[in-house]
Amino acid sequence: MKEYELTVLIHPDLETDLNAPLDKVRTLVKDNGGEIVKEDNSGKKRLAYRINNQDFAVYVSMDVKLPADAPLKISNVLNITDSVLRYLLVKTDEKGRALLEDAKKRAAERGESDEDESEE
């Protein structure tokens, strides 16, 4: 299974009860043989341009693992789902993610060594 990032823009009127539309997305991923590794709700944000006469949307991003045939099936269903204004499903760049983690580790090590020097 490959790793993907799924970002979904939920209709702003559904902000009070996000469980229903998010359960649809979660069920869609699981029914197609995938698993959700991480989920992040960024909340309601202003859109860069109007989508379906809406100026705002609730941003939810998920890191998912999917089999090869699942992205097409998920895309087909999300295209016709009324509660989803837009979505983006992209394959995760493993090399880029590894480089980012290495950079964070190096920055943390530098931060720790700077604190040690300032205490002396």
Pairing of strands 35-51, 84-91: unpaired
Distance CA 59, CA 14 (A): 12
Residues 11 and 85 sit within 8 Å (Cβ to Cβ): yes
- Flag whether 106 is in a domain: no
With respect to residue 53, please indicate whether it lies within any of the assigned structural domains.
Answer: yes
24-77 pLDDT, tens digit each: 999 999 999 999 999 999 999 999 999 999 999 999 999 999 999 999 999 999
Domain hosting residue 39, numbered range: 2-92
DSSP state letter for 109: H
- Measured in degrees and rounded to the nearest 5, phi and psi for residue 69 equal -90, -10
The CATH number that applies at residue 79 is 3.30.70.60
Flag whether 118 is in a domain: no
In a domain, 104, yes or no: no
**Is pTM, for the whole model, over 0.85?**
no
Looking at residue 24, the DSSP 8-state letter turns out to be H
The tally of domains found in the chain comes to 1
Instruction: Specify if 31 maps to a domain.
Output: yes
How far apart, in whole angstroms, are the C-alpha atoms of residue 90 and residue 71?
9
